[in-house]
Amino acid sequence: MQNKIRWLVFFGGFAVFVSGVELWHRHVQDRNSVYQCRILIDKDFSVDESNSDEETKSEPISLYVRTKYGVLPRKQSDPSKIFDAYSATIDYEEDCLKNGYLKLAVLVPNATEGNIQNIIARFSDAKVSFIVPHYVDNLSKIAEIIVSSGHEFFIQLPTQSSIPLDKKETVSPFLANASSDEVRDKLYYLMSSTKYAIGIANTCDSLVTKSGKDMEIIAKELSQRGMALLNIEDDSDVINEISERINLKTLRAKVFQDSDQLKEKDTIIVSSKQLDDVMEALPKGVKLVPVSFGKKNASL
């Protein structure tokens, strides 16, 4: 009887010991798992804009850096670096100076690979600018199609008035006088939505770019990252003052309204639906050029 009790005590103690070891092992595994996850999270949320050896080897002249926001334009000493790298180059400048030209940007609110290719096909003998919202599907592919065809493009600044109704619930607009962190975060996400954009295009009645506090942040970030601002506001006092002080490359354009008012050397923005009207009203011989025409490598 005593032997049986001893054996029961022995096996009971052994079972407790084994259970304890197993629990301790699981605890260590859980801690290691949490630690590994923390490392991954820290890496995902780090914003390291220094040159790593690996990045330098793979992209010796990279203009971009991987951050938590995506692939963000790298900070540059040259405020026109990205702009000069990806703005359109034209080989018909002599014809422009002889026969006249019109600077054109086409806003494509519902851009797809197909409709972008169709629009590009209409400009077989010209280069223009495109403005595309950041929330369209396959933006990176669309950007590649535009740039590889010799054109250039800007990302549209998302404001309350520019976001369509079917996107209101999923797209967060820039709000005037938001906190500095919020403005900067949204700007980073916007700039990192794809490569190759030479700047950001403002929208009509944008309260964000009328706010000195907001515009100060936007101008500094764009300038530091070699990008430009395409402004279509009539009231440009805030933008002009800050852009000049911060050395931000700023382009002016007006929204196309009436083909009868079309003038040579204008810089206009048209929606893709208005393109037929512009093409029909274009004076004979006048060439279409991108909005960057005459501004590449030029200090403002």
pLDDT over 70 at 5, yes or no: no
Helices (H), 87-154: 93-99, 113-121, 139-148
Alpha helices in 212-268 (DSSP H): 212-224, 237-246
- Assign 219 to helix, strand or coil: helix
What residues contact residue 273 under an 8 Å CB cut-off, 6+ apart?
A: none
Residue pLDDT, tens place only, 39-71: 333 333 334 455 443 443 444 458 999 999 999
Maximum Cα interatomic distance, the chain, rounded to a whole number of Å = 116
**For residue 167, what pLDDT is reported?**
81
User: Domain 75-289, what architecture?
Assistant: Alpha-Beta Barrel (3.20)
Beta bridge partners of 66: 71
pLDDT above 70: residue 241: yes
Question: Over 80: is that where the pLDDT of 287 sits?
Answer: yes
pLDDT of residue 138: 96
Closest CA to 176 of 153, 159, 156: 159
Q: Where are the domains of the chain?
A: 1-45, 75-289
What's this model's pTM, rounded to 2 decimal places?
Answer: 0.78
Per-residue pLDDT reduced to its tens digit, 166-208: 887 788 888 888 899 999 999 999 999 999 999 999 987 788 8
Write down the residue that tokens 């916007």 correspond to.
190
Instruction: Please enumerate in sequence order all residues whose Cβ is within 8 A of that of 253, keeping only pairs 6 or more positions apart, or say none.
Output: 103, 105, 230, 231, 232, 267, 268, 269, 291
- Mean pLDDT, to the nearest integer, of 30-34? 41
Q: Which residue is it, tokens 């002080």? A: 245
Average pLDDT, the chain: 82
- Look up tokens 């999923």; give the residue: 170
